[in-house]
C-alpha cells in the first residue's frame, strides 16, 4: 500500500498528459467534422410557379447534404422581390424579372439566375365538356379577360373550336390577387398579342383586372377554377395536371395551335437562348417557331452578388450549382423543361461571380 502513492505520482501526470493529448486531438477532429457539417438554414420566398419543383429539389439536396436546410415560402414573385430587396430572405424566386428601377433601389447588386423553364396554361372547368381539349387564340383569351367575351358559345370561341358544342353559359374569369410572376408572364403575352389589352391593362406582376374573381397563388387560382363551373384561369402546367383539370392549346406567333409540353416550351426557349442579355433577364412569350408554345417562360433565383454571411453564401452557391446541373434531371417528371446548355453555361458564370467579401464562394 505504501508504494502505491509513489507509483501514482509518477504515472498520473503521464496519464493525464496522454489523456489531454488525446482529448485535444479528439476535439480537433470533432471541430473539423462539425465545421463541415454545421447546420445552415436558408430562407427563401417568392414564385409559386416553380414551387413544386423547388420543394423536390430542397428535399433531394438535403438527402445529399443533411446540414443544408431550406425554408421556401411560395408567396408569389412580387412578394419574393420585396423580401429579397429588404434583405429578409437569403434568396428569392421570381418568374418576373426585376425592373431596372427595382434593381437600382435594391441595397446591393442582385443577380438573376434562371432555374428552369415552364408553361402558363389556360385551364378551365366546363362540366358539359368533360375531357374535351379546347383551343384559344390570343384574341379570344384577351377578349375573355377584358370582359368582351362573356359566354362560352361566343362566336370567337366557336371559331377557335369548330365542332365543339360549347355551352351558352356565362364565363367565370379567375385571376391572381397577389403580386405574381405568373401574372407578369400572362399579361406580357397578352400585351404582345392584343393592342387593346396593352392599352387598357398592360403587363406586370399586379394589374387591375377588368372582370372576374381573384385568388391568391397558383394554388388559389387552381382551387377556384376547380370549384367554379364554367370558369377559366391561368396557372403553371403542373397545377392543372395535379388537379386533373383540362388545359387549352394556344395559337402561337406562327398561327399554329400548340399544346403546352416540355418540348414545346423548350422550342420557345431555343430561339432566344443564344441572344439572352448579359444580365439574363429575358421574355420568351409569343416566341417564333411553328412548334413553340407561346406562354412560356424562364423562372429565376434572385440572389445577392456579394453575400453577407460566408456559411450561408457557400451553402447557397453549392445548391445553385447542383440545381442548375443535377437538379435539371428532375424537371421533366414535374412537367418543367430543363435549361438549354447555353443557359446553363451562363448560369455557371453568374454562380462563379458570387462572392463573400470579394472572394468567390464557389470552389468547384
d(CA 49, CA 235): 8
> Which residue, chain included where needed, has cell 493529448?
21
Under-50 pLDDT residues of the chain:
1-35
Residue 318 pairs in a beta bridge with: none
CA 269 to mean position of chain CA atoms: 16
d(CA 141, CA 149): 9
3-state secondary structure the chain: CCCHHHHHHHHHHHHHHHHHHHHHHHHHHHHHHHHHHCCEEEEEEECCCCHHHHHHHHHHHHHHCCCEEEEEEECCHHHHHHHHHCCCCCEEEECCCCCHHHHHHCCCCEEEEEEEEEEEEEEEECHHHCCCCCEECHHHHHHHHHCCCCECCCHHHHHHCCCCCCCCCECEEEEECCCCHHHHHHHHHHHHHCHHHHHHCCCCCCCCCCCCEEECHHHHHHHHHHHCCCEEEEEEHHHHHHCCCCECEEECCCCCEECCCHHHHHHHHHCCHHHCCCCCCCCCCCCCCCCCCCCEEEEEEEEECEECCHHHHHHHHHHHHHHCCHHHHHCHHHCCECCCHHHHHHHHHHHHCCEECCEECCCC
pTM: 0.85
pLDDT at position 28 is: 36
pLDDT at position 16 is: 37
Of 176, 108, 193, 104, nearest in space to 142 by CA: 193
Burial grade of 193 (CB within 10 A; 0-12, 13-18, 19 or more): buried
Of 185, 183, 175, 136, nearest in space to 285 by CA: 185
Cell numbers at 321, concatenated:
450549382
Of 87, 47, 40, 38, nearest in space to 182 by CA: 47
Q: What are residue 212's phi and psi, to 5 degrees?
A: 95, -175
Burial grade of 90 (CB within 10 A; 0-12, 13-18, 19 or more): buried
d(CA 57, CA 61): 6
d(CA 353, CA 356): 10
- Going from the N-terminus, what domains does the chain have, and what CATH number goes with each? 39-117+297-360 (3.40.190.10), 119-270 (3.40.190.10)
Q: What are residue 34's phi and psi, to 5 degrees?
A: -65, -35
pLDDT at position 279 is: 97
Amino acid at each position: 500500500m505504501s508504494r502505491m502513492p509513489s507509483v501514482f505520482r509518477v504515472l498520473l501526470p503521464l496519464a493525464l498528459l496522454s489523456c489531454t493529448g488525446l482529448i485535444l486531438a479528439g476535439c480537433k477532429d470533432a471541430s473539423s467534422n462539425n465545421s463541415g457539417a454545421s447546420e445552415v438554414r436558408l430562407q427563401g420566398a417568392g414564385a409559386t410557379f416553380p414551387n413544386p419543383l423547388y420543394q423536390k429539389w430542397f428535399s433531394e439536396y438535403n438527402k445529399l447534404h443533411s446540414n443544408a436546410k431550406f425554408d421556401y415560402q411560395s408567396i408569389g414573385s412580387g412578394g419574393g422581390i420585396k423580401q429579397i430587396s429588404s434583405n429578409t430572405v437569403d434568396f428569392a424566386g421570381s418568374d418576373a424579372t426585376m425592373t431596372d428601377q427595382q434593381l437600382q433601389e435594391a441595397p446591393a447588386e442582385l443577380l438573376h439566375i434562371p432555374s428552369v423553364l415552364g408553361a402558363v396554361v389556360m385551364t378551365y372547368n366546363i362540366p358539359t365538356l368533360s375531357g374535351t381539349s379546347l383551343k384559344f387564340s390570343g384574341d379570344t383569351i384577351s377578349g375573355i379577360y377584358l370582359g368582351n367575351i362573356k359566354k362560352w358559345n361566343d362566336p370567337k370561341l366557336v371559331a377557335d373550336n369548330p365542332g365543339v358544342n360549347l355551352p351558352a353559359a356565362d364565363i367565370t374569369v379567375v385571376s391572381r390577387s397577389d403580386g405574381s410572376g405568373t401574372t407578369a408572364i400572362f399579361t406580357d403575352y397578352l400585351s404582345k398579342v392584343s393592342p387593346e389589352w396593352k392599352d387598357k391593362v398592360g403587363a406586370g406582376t399586379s394589374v387591375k383586372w377588368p372582370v372576374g374573381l381573384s385568388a391568391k397563388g397558383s394554388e388559389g387560382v387552381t382551387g377556384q377554377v376547380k370549384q367554379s363551373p364554367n370558369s377559366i384561369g391561368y396557372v403553371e402546367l403542373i397545377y392543372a395536371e395535379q388537379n386533373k383539370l383540362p388545359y387549352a392549346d394556344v395559337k402561337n406567333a406562327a398561327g399554329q395551335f400548340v399544346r403546352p409540353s416540355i418540348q414545346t416550351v423548350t422550342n420557345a426557349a431555343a430561339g432566344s437562348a443564344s441572344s439572352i442579355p448579359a444580365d439574363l433577364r429575358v421574355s420568351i412569350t409569343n416566341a417564333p417557331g411553328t412548334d413553340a408554345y407561346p406562354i412560356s417562360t424562364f423562372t429565376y433565383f434572385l440572389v445577392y452578388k456579394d453575400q453577407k454571411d460566408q456559411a450561408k453564401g457557400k451553402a447557397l452557391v453549392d445548391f445553385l450549382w447542383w440545381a442548375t446541373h443535377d437538379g435539371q434531371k428532375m424537371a421533366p417528371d414535374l412537367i418543367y423543361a430543363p435549361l438549354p446548355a447555353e443557359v446553363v453555361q451562363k448560369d455557371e458564370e453568374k454562380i462563379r461571380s458570387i462572392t463573400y467579401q470579394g472572394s468567390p464562394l464557389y470552389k468547384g
